[in-house]
Amino acid sequence: MLKLQNASLFHQQAFIDGAWRDADTGAALEVTNPATGERLGRVPAMGRNETRRAIQAAERAWPDWRARTATERGRAAAAVVWAHHGAPR
């Protein structure tokens, strides 16, 4: 399994509509390093229904995101990166 210094960065679920989610069926796919064959983790085997919900969530979020200025969108994106990787020094 993949080891990170900050384990909270590693998710084996899909982020849909503001939450980390498994596939409806619980099915998952193994993710391996093709160079070594080492198992890195698993990802949910999402299907049509999960994809539809993700698209619907993105469509709901789009008007608010689009209304933001480029500066606001940049700050929001940076905040996500900083939350996962730390603020620049």
User: 8 falls in which pLDDT band (50, 70, 90)?
Assistant: confident
Over residues 13-53, the pLDDT tens digits come to 999 998 999 999 999 999 999 999 999 899 999 999 999 99
Q: Is 4 helix (H, G, I), strand (E, B) or coil?
A: coil
In a domain, residue 2? The reply is no
Q: Is residue 31 part of a domain?
A: yes
Contact status, residue 14 vs residue 54, Cβ threshold 8 Å: yes
Q: Is residue 52 part of a domain?
A: yes
Does the structure show a pLDDT above 80 at 56? yes
Q: Does 1 reside within a domain?
A: no
pTM: 0.72
Range of the domain at 79: 7-85
Sign of CA dihedral 1, 13, 51, 63: negative
Residue 82 three-state SS: helix
16 part of a folded domain: yes
Count of domains for the chain:
1
Instruction: Provide DSSP, 48-74.
Output: HHHHHHHHHHHHHHHHHHHHS-HHHHH
